[in-house]
Amino acid sequence: MSATATVVAPPEEGLFSAADVPVARSRRARVVGCTQSVVVLPALVERAGGPPRGVSLERACDLVRGVVGSWGGLAVDVETTGYPVGHRWWGLRTVQLGDAQAAVVFDATDAEQAQAVRVLLAETPRLFAHSAVADLVPLAHAGLIDWAPAWERMVDTVLLARLADPSRSTTQCGLKQLATAVLGSEAVSPAADRARAEVFASAGWVSNTHVGTPVTTSGWAQVHPGWVTMVRYAAADVLDTAALADRLLPGCEPVLLAREHTVQALTARLTQVGLRLNPLHVQALLDDHTTAREQAREHVRGFGITNPGSAPQVGAALLAAGAELPMTPTGRASVAAPVLEPLRDTPGVVGELVAAVLDYRHHDTAITTFLTPYQHLITCGDGRVRPTVYTLGTDTGRMSCVRPNLQQLSRQGGIRACLTADPGHLLVSADFTGVELRVAAALSGDTTLRRMITEGVDIHWLIARQVFGPTATKADRYAVKRGVFGRLYGGGVPTLAAQVGCTRAAAAAMVATLDEMTPQLSSWAAGLRHAVSAGRREFRTYSGAIVHLPAAFPHKAPNYAIQRTARELLVDALLRWKMTPWGDAVLLPVHDEILVMVPETDAVAASEALVACMETELNGVPILAQASEPSYAWADAA
């Protein structure tokens, strides 16, 4: 990039404290040598090339309306300060509208331009975005769209990518990666992103802004939106999103796309509204875990380890104490949780050290992953979490959750209770009952497993008593439960023994007992693994959705088939829930659980309705659900 003589200070200094401003100016001064001149917005950027050029607002609106007239819709993208909605440093900076050939970048902080964007979005019959939640939520909070009508007209190119090609992994669906794969040399967003990253790096700004990032180091908050590099970057996302829509939409089955779009709109409400945090509970847990982490840290240091978070130090200490540890590909002793968990109860130094390390990790994870970010949202924001649910978030197709990941919260220990309902509301939830075993029975047709399910027989207790004897304990049953699911997911005896924390002999006995009890299930799983080895790559669920079976891992095929089918049952439940009186309520899917915030006076009726929405049958196997007691705070699992 060429140097420029003109650098205009961006308006966001009003976001900073007096102490922050000099730091921000100092960092910005470092970028002068690699920036380009400022483009006055609105600005037009064309795929065909040429520099971005400022246009009048009237001309910008005419250009956008011309796109709508010729293409029938608009691709939309936004740039923000990088912080979540509700954070004191959140702000909408620019809005980009266009198609695959041309995009207009509007200044969202200018009242006249913002109003023009609102009118243009309201006029547009169809909208396209990549990860639509990330665009519609800021637009809604800025008052530039009406939420429900916008979702009715929205098409998300992430959904298009996953539906058009089930073999495409989730990691390949970021806009830049996807544009490279689908558009090839025509893609413009990857190069624009590299140029943007160069500017950030030159100034010492970070790209990955999170709730606790100092505003003086956030590139998204600091960079001038009118710099040529940023205008090109902003427009490039629209140009490639529109081009992707043109390529991918014809390959999508309309019924499946409508199904996925509806579920996405249901879960997006959580990102828009959020869930309240309980400040007192967050602080109490933070204090408790901080004290416990320091105690665990001192315990670990007693074994000569200066940094409990250092894997090499922990590995060396355990090897010196006589532990047998597998080696990583880099030649170091592995101290991953699945390796250490079975060693926790080892007599002597090894067991004591492992227990102290795992305790330290437990408390450190609670602090760094959950409680500290929650504290930032309370002190620097409006005290709400607004995660994004990716409705096709994993390679099996199951849903995932990010920023923050509320699906990762421990079901014990009170972390869930940091999240509460709004005043006058309660949280209701229901869990599928043993859904994966039920799906396995339905897909395999195993008559024994079907009978056990129908009669309410606990297969985990049966196997536990076979393996550990008639005096088997609840801990033995839990170990067997993990072993059964590990087997369904394709784990071999050594892997199961490590995962469950038992001897290989016990793991082998679990496998043999399961195979003997459910021969049709074992045969179905083996047949599916063999089919993948022979070249089969797709499994079609009852809904018509397809999950790609990984050729390199045939043993995972039963897991993919079971998890994707269970996910379709969850989707069915959400679609039925949409038709209830609480269909527009804030909800969170958590694996096989659905959590919803409803008015307190409706809690009992809504809880009963939720169970009714989740209960069904699959190939003659009953799919059941169980509700938790309505509560103000999200309760631990019973």
Residue 307: DSSP 8-state: -
- What phi, psi does 127 have (nearest 5°)? -120, 145
- List Cα–Cα distances, 371 to 6, 229, 291, 415, 597, in angstroms: 44, 37, 14, 8, 22
pLDDT band per the 50, 70, 90 thresholds, residue 144: very high
Instruction: Write out the two tokens for 546.
Output: 């397809």
The pTM (predicted TM-score) of the whole model is 0.90
Q: How far is CA 258 from CA 146, 147, 153, 159, 566, in A?
A: 20, 18, 11, 10, 19
The answer to whether the peptide bond before residue 149 is cis (omega within 30 degrees of 0) is no
610 pLDDT band, cuts 50/70/90, is very high
Query: pLDDT tens digits, residue range 328-342?
Result: 888 889 999 878 887
Closest CA to 439 of 622, 598, 247, 231: 622
In tens, the pLDDT along 412-451 reads 899 999 999 999 999 999 999 989 999 999 999 999 999 9
**103-135 residue pLDDT tens:** 999 999 999 999 999 999 999 999 999 999 999
| Sequence-distant (≥ 6) Cβ neighbours of residue 459 within 8 angstroms | 437, 449, 452, 484, 517
Checking if the pLDDT of 5 tops 60, the result is no
Confidence of residue 2 (pLDDT cuts 50, 70, 90): very low
Q: Sorting pLDDT into bands at 50, 70 and 90, what band is 577?
A: very high
pLDDT for 506-563, tens place per residue? 888 888 888 899 999 999 999 999 999 999 999 999 999 999 999 999 999 999 999 9
- CA atoms lying within 13 Å on the CB side of residue 206: 13
| Whole-number Å distance between alpha carbons of 472 and 500 | 15
How does residue 490 score in pLDDT terms, banded at 50, 70 and 90?
confident
Q: Which residue has the higher pLDDT, 397 or 175?
A: 175
For 228-278, write each residue's pLDDT tens digit.
999 999 999 999 999 999 999 999 999 999 999 999 999 999 999 999 999
3-state secondary structure 140-201: HHCCCCCHHHHHHCEEEHHHHHHHHCCCCCHHHCCHHHHHHHHHHHHCCHHHHHHHHHHHHH
**For 8-45, how does the pLDDT look when each residue is reduced to its tens digit (9 = 90+)?**
334 444 444 555 556 556 655 565 555 568 999 999 99
Question: Could you tell me if residue 413 is left (phi over 0), alpha (psi between -120 and 50 degrees) or otherwise beta?
Answer: left
In the prediction, which pLDDT does 40 show?
95
Count Cβ neighbours within 10 Å for each residue of 128-153 and write b for 16 or more, e otherwise: bbbbbbbbbbbbbbbebbebeebbeb
Q: What is the CA radius of gyration of the chain?
A: 27
Amino acid identity, position 218 = S
Q: What is the mean pLDDT of residues 464-481?
A: 86
- The predicted-structure confidence for 178-189, as pLDDT tens digits, reads as follows 999 999 999 999
